[in-house]
Structures are given as C-alpha cells and as structure tokens.
C-alpha cells in the first residue's frame, strides 16, 4: 500500500500532464460555449453601446441601429450583414475566451484546493468540505486572474464586434487592433474598463462556480425526484445547474459589464460616445464612477441593463455548455480531479 505522503505527491511529470489536460479542457469548454452563442454575444455588445454608435453615425445612416429586441436584432444583423455578420468578432472572441477559460477553470481548481486546505487547518476538521461562500471566494480569485491575463484581447474584441463598414476605424484582426490601440492610444488604453471588469468578475465568476457546484452537491445529497443516481447527475441536469448559475451571476454583474464596455469605447477615434440627450460633446469618462453617473443621468437607470434579455438568453446555454463540456473533456482525457472533487 502506498503511503499518504506518496499519494499526496504524484510524480512531477504526472502533475504536469494533469495541469496540461485541465488547461486543454478549460480552453475547449470556452471555445465551444462561446461559438454556440456567438450571434447573441454580438447583439449584446451592440445593444450595450447603442448610444455610442447610434448618435455618432446617425447622419451617415439614419437606420443604423434597429435593435428593438432579441429576435428583431438578430434579423436585422442577418439582413444587413448576412451569416458572417452573425459571427463577426467570434474569432477574436475565441482567441480571448479559450485562454481565459483555460486559466479560469484551472485557477478555480487550484484556489479551491488552497482555500480548502486553509479551512481544514483553521477548523481542525480534515473532513471539512468547501462551503458555498468558500466556493464563491475561489471563483472570484479565478475570475480576477483570468480576466487580468486576457483583458487587452477582451477590449479589442469589443471594438471589432461593434465596428461596421461605416466605422471610422477598421481593425483587420485582433493583432492589428492590439497594435493600433497600443500605438495610437498608449499601453494604458489596453486596460480601459479593467476596474469595473475586475469588480464585476468577482460576483459573476464567483457565483457561477458557487451556484453550480452547490446545486450539484444538493441534488446528489438529497436526490429530489430521484434526479441523482449513484452520486452522478445526467448531462441534462448538469446543464440546468449551469444555466441557473449563469443566470444568477450575470444578473448581479451585468451593470458593470455595460460600464466596462462603454469605457472601452472611449478613445476610439470619432467613435467615443456622444452624451445622450445633449447632442454635443463627447462623454469622456474619467473613471468607473463617472461612467455610472453619466449613463444614469442621461439615459436613466435602465440603461445599465440594456441588452440584458439577449445576454440572459446567451448566458443560459453558454455557462451550462462550458461547465458540462469541461467535465466531459476531462473525463475523456482521463483527468482524475474534477471541479467538484
């Protein structure tokens, strides 16, 4: 029989292989989930920055923005830009989300182990398990690390997604956008909106992981309506847990996502937002608080939830697919450790 010390310290090559598989699983999960909802992702971003694009380009095209709802918005994009328009920015989105998702899932596993170790030492109970609050903390850590590591790609992805043939600046791709922003606006511009993003990612990613795992644990423990069998949940049930987790997280963090997106647009030549209701001047936000104040002052509190409906429709399958894909790929790759372990 192997000793506890031997069990606790697997060979370095085994550990490295396990890390690599975990990163691959997380990356695949992110790419699959985002591609599946790419049209809704683009519509959400367009809705978030309607005042920016509409007020700037209304002279060029008075029918530029006609997104009165999710279905109408998707039809308008299809009619005016075709199939490619539905997936505009998805390549850049995946280039960002694949490493983001890989880092996020792996960071969550590592943070969970570290937090659990500290919790067990503090309570003196070696059998203690992560509570929903501790999972929230682990998810927050993972979200902050992943967001910070890939933020510049998120910024240019938003700009590429928003641009049309009438846009003053035409980015040819992610690397062209990154170099252009760096050259014309400076390195700090690559992190515009970083603070609300980090603040928003704490409840968003934290709640995603906490709600998902807590729901799974509850269903396995109490087996309502015979949902869980042999401590396993069906794919459909796990998808439902992921959908619930995503809905809770994005509803809490959505206003910060709107402000982040608007701050990212500031500095984009001739495309900075015109102050709604003023008809003149540019809304050059001095910071996150200023962006909140100006958005509420000129557009009302409801503007902070512009695009929430298509975002909710997107989040339900996206988060669910990401969680389930991650677990399925890890099973296929033969990784023993799973996020709920």
Cα–Cα distance for residue pair 57/50, rounded to 1 Å: 10
pLDDT tens-digit series, residues 242-253: 999 998 888 888
Helices (runs of H) and strands (runs of E) counted in the chain? 12, 0
Of the listed ranges 15-19, 57-61, 297-301, the one predicted with least confidence: 57-61
Q: What is the DSSP letter of 169?
A: S
Share of the chain above pLDDT 70, in %: 80
Confidence at residue 58, expressed as pLDDT on a 0 to 100 scale: 33
Q: What is the pLDDT of residue 230?
A: 61
- Whether pLDDT at 280 is above 70: no
Q: Which of 169, 167, 119, 115 is nearest to 139 (CA)?
A: 115
Angle between helices 235-265 and 288-299 (to 10 degrees): 90
User: Residue 223: pLDDT above 90?
Assistant: no
Q: Residue 99 corresponds to which tokens in the numbers above?
A: 């490493």
pLDDT of residue 57: 41
Provide the pLDDT confidence category of residue 72 given band limits of 50, 70 and 90. confident
Q: 249, 281, 283: which is closest to 49 by C-alpha?
A: 283
| Residue 55: band (very low, low, confident or very high) from pLDDT cuts 50, 70, 90 | very low
Give the pLDDT score at 271: 46
Q: Pick the more confident residue, 201 or 49.
A: 201
Residue 195, pLDDT > 80, answer yes
Q: Which long-range contacts (CB under 8 A, 24 or more apart) does 283-289 make?
A: 287/195, 288/193, 288/195, 288/196, 288/199, 288/259, 288/263
Q: Which residue has the tokens 């792996």?
A: 106
Maximum alpha-carbon separation in the chain: 78
* Token reading at 338: 């799973």
Q: How large is the C-alpha radius of gyration of the chain? A: 22
Write down all domains in the chain, each with its CATH number in brackets: 14-333 (1.50.40.10)
322, pLDDT greater than 90: yes
pLDDT band at 142 (very low <50, low <70, confident <90, very high): very high
**pLDDT for 56:** 39
Task: Calculate mean pLDDT across residues 210-228.
Answer: 84
Secondary structure element (H or E) that encloses residue 94, with its range: helix 90-123
Whether 273 and 283 have beta carbons less than 8 Å apart is answered as yes
Q: How far apart are CA 321 and CA 29, in angstroms?
A: 7
pLDDT value of position 75: 84
Q: Identify the weakest region by mean pLDDT among 95-99, 144-148, 211-215, 274-278.
A: 274-278
Q: Which of 231, 334, 319 is nearest to 25 (CA)?
A: 334
Over 80: is that where the pLDDT of 40 sits?
A: yes
pLDDT of amino acid 93 = 77
Residue 110: name the closest of 42, 29, 18 by CA.
18
């Amino acid at each position: 029989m192997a000793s506890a010390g031997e069990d606790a310290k697997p060979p370095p090559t085994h550990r490295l292989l396990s890390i690599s598989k975990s990163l691959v699983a997380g990356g695949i999960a992110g790419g699959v989930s985002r591609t599946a909802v790419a049209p809704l992702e683009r519509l959400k971003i367009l809705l978030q920055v309607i005042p920016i694009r509409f007020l700037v380009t209304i002279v060029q095209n008075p029918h530029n923005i006609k997104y009165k709802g999710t279905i109408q918005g998707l039809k308008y994009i299809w009619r005016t830009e075709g199939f490619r328009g539905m997936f505009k920015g998805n390549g850049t989105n995946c280039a960002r989300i694949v490493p983001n998702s890989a880092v996020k899932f792996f960071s969550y596993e590592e943070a969970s182990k570290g937090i659990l170790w500290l919790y067990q030492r503090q309570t003196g109970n070696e059998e203690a398990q992560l509570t929903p609050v501790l999972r929230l903390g682990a998810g927050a850590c993972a979200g902050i690390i992943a967001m910070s590591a890939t933020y510049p790609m998120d910024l240019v992805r938003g700009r590429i997604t928003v641009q049309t043939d009438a846009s003053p600046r035409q980015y040819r791709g992610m690397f062209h956008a990154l170099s252009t922003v760096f050259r014309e606006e400076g390195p700090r511009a690559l992190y515009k909106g970083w603070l609300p993003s980090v603040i928003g990612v704490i409840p968003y990613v934290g709640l995603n992981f906490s709600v998902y795992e807590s729901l799974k644990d509850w269903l396995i423990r109490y087996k309502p309506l015979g949902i869980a069998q042999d401590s396993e949940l069906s794919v459909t049930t796990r998808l439902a847990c992921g959908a619930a987790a995503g809905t809770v997280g994005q509803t809490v963090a959505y206003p910060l996502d709107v402000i982040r997106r608007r701050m990212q647009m500031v500095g984009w030549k001739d495309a900075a937002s015109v102050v709604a209701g003023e008809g003149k001047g540019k809304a050059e936000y001095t910071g996150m608080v200023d962006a909140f104040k100006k958005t509420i002052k000129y557009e009302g509190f409801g503007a902070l939830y512009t695009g929430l409906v298509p975002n909710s429709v997107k989040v339900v399958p996206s988060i669910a697919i990401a969680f389930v894909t991650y677990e399925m790929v890890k099973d296929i790759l033969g990784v023993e450790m799973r996020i709920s372990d």
